[in-house]
A and B are shown apart, each in its own frame.
Chain A
Amino acid sequence: MPTPVKMPRLGESVAEGTVGSWLKKEGDWVERDESLAEIITDKINAELPSPVAGRLAKILVKVDETVPVGADIALIEENADVSASPPAEAAPGPDAAPVESPARANVAVMDSKRAGDGNGSSAAVQVSRAGEEERQRISPLARRLAREHSLDLNAIPGTGTGGRVRKEDILAYLAQQEEAPVAVGAQFIEAATPVPAAQPAYTAPAAVPVAPPYVAPAAPTIAGEDVEIVTPSRMRLAIAEHMVRSKRTSPHATTVMEVDMTNIAKWLEKNRDDFKRREGYSISYVPFVMKSVCEGIRKVPLMNSSWTEDNKIIIKKRINLGIAVATDMGLVVPTIYDADQLTIAGLAKQVNAVAQRARTNKLTVEDIQNSTFVVNNPGTFGTIISVPIINQPHAGILSMDAVVKRPVVTEDDAIAIRYMMYLCLSFDHRILDGAGAATFLQAVRTKLQNYGREIDVY
Chain B
Amino acid sequence: MSAVTYLEAISQAIREEMRRDEAVFLLGEDVGTYGGAFKVSAGLLEEFGPERVIDTPMAEAAIIGSAVGAALMGMRPIAEMQFIDFITCGFDQIINMASKMYWRAGMPVPMVIRGPSGGGVKGGPFHSASPEVWFFHTPGIKVVVPATAYDAKGLLKAAIRDNNPVLYLEHKLLYRMPELREELPAEDYIVPLGKAITRREGEDMTILTYGAMVHQCLKAAQVLEQEDGLNVEVIDLRSLSPLDREAILESVKHTNKVLIVHEDTLTGGIGAELAAILAEDLFEYLDGPITRVAAPDAPFPYAPPLEEAYLPNADKILAATRKLAAY
Contact = CB atoms under 8 A, between A and B. Distances in A.
Contacts of B287: 139-142, 166-167
A160 B322 CA distance: 12
Interface of B: 256, 283-288, 323, 326-327
A143 interface: yes
Contacts, number: 31
A359 interface: no
B259 to A, nearest CB: 15
Given A139-B287, A144-B284, 15 more contacts: A139-B256, A139-B286, A139-B327, A140-B284, A141-B256, A141-B284, A141-B287, A142-B287, A143-B284, A160-B288, A161-B323, A161-B327, A166-B287, A166-B327, A167-B287
Nearest to A147: B284
19 contacts: A139-B256, A139-B286, A139-B327, A140-B283, A140-B284, A141-B256, A141-B284, A141-B285, A141-B286, A142-B287, A143-B284, A144-B284, A160-B326, A160-B327, A161-B326, A164-B327, A166-B288, A166-B327, A167-B287
Closest 6 A/B residue pairs (Cβ): A144-B284, A141-B287, A167-B287, A139-B287, A140-B286, A166-B287
Contacts of A160: 288, 326-327
Nearest to B286: A140
Contacts of A143: 284
Contacts of B323: 161
A107 B327 CA distance: 40
Nearest to A142: B287
Nearest to A143: B284
A29 B288 CA distance: 24
Contacts of A139: 256, 286-288, 327
A141 B256 CA distance: 7
A336 to B, nearest CB: 42
Contacts of A141: 256, 284-287
B327 A167 contact: no
Contacts of B288: 139, 160, 166
Most buried by B among A141, A164, A166: A141
B258 to A, nearest CB: 12
Contacts of B284: 140-141, 143-144
Nearest to A139: B287
Contacts of B326: 160-161
Nearest to A148: B284
Nearest to B285: A141
B255 to A, nearest CB: 10
Most buried by B among A139, A160, A161, A164: A139
A372 to B, nearest CB: 45
A409 to B, nearest CB: 70
Most buried by B among A140, A142, A160: A140
A256 to B, nearest CB: 56
A403 B284 CA distance: 53
A167 B255 CA distance: 10
Nearest to A141: B287
A343 B323 CA distance: 57
A144 B253 CA distance: 13
A140 B327 CA distance: 12
A172 to B, nearest CB: 13
Nearest to B279: A140
A164 B326 CA distance: 10
A139 B286 CA distance: 7
Nearest to A166: B287
Nearest to A165: B287
Nearest to A137: B327
Contacts of A142: 287
Contacts of B286: 139-141
